[in-house]
Amino acid sequence: MDKLWESLGSVLGLMLVGALVLLLDRIRSKISEWIERKRLHPLARGIRYARHVQALLLELRVQLQADRAYVMLFHNGSYFSNKNPVWRVSSLVEVCKPGISHDMTSVQGVLAANIWHVLAPVFDEQYPGIYDMKNGIKRLVVGEMPDCYSKEWLKSKGVCGKVMTPLRDKNGQVCGILAVNYDNADCNNCQLCSRDHKILADYAGRITYALEN
């Protein structure tokens, strides 16, 4: 009996050592990746994470059968003379189904207030045409939006519905938006099932991680 326990203890010890070696190797690999990223020029780091985000958006668009998928980020955070905040928004990456134009790519350094009707679903639960979905995801039906420039602009591009979710930084603050668009006859795809909610929420987390690392 003693030999059995001794053998069992040896096996468990070897398993523990093996697991520890694997853990240390993974930690070493992560540290090496972090050091390599820090050595890169800021522009090179930006290109790297943009390419990573683009790859994720390509996967997301196909999985949700959307016409367009894109990420927009908020920046600046300065103030007007009356102390009201000045927030701008820029499109980081946009991927589209063949035949769909890359219209969101042109949104660069735009005052968030000027396209509030496009951003509203993430911030204003009472905004007309918005439907709450699971996991903090919102659906915007263009035809039910109030009359505004954004509505006419979206209609001119053939967009009938958007599904979006906020991107949050490490402090839980909204730093951007992940969105997918559905055009014309595909508008019914805005009625996403629970599986699709989870997919969008999962990609939001993966994209946020890519942006911060």
The residue that leads in pLDDT, 28 or 93, is 93
| Residues 167, 179, 193, 52, CA torsion sign | negative
**Domain ranges, residue 92:** 40-212
Using CA atoms, how far residue 210 sits from 48, 155, 203, in Å, is 9, 32, 10
Residue type at position 83: K
Into how many domains does the chain fold? 1
Closest CA to 130 of 190, 171, 174: 190
Q: What is the CATH number of the domain that holds 72?
A: 3.30.450.40
pTM here is 0.72
Within a domain: 148: yes
- Asked if residues 134 and 153 have their Cβ atoms less than 8 Å apart, the reply is no
Within a domain: 189: yes
Which pLDDT tens digit goes with each residue over 19-35?
Answer: 777 777 777 766 666 55
Burial (0-12, 13-18, 19+ Cβ within 10 Å), 187: middle
Which pLDDT tens digit goes with each residue over 35-80?
Answer: 555 665 555 565 677 788 889 999 999 998 888 999 999 988 777 7
Within a domain: 30: no
What is the arithmetic mean of pLDDT over 195-210? 83
Within a domain: 96: yes
Distance CA 16, CA 30 (A): 21
Within a domain: 35: no
Which pLDDT tens digit goes with each residue over 150-202?
Answer: 888 888 888 888 888 889 888 888 889 999 988 865 455 555 555 677 888 88
- Asked if residues 94 and 108 have their Cβ atoms less than 8 Å apart, the reply is no
Range name among 89-93, 133-137, 163-167, 205-209 with the lowest pLDDT average: 133-137
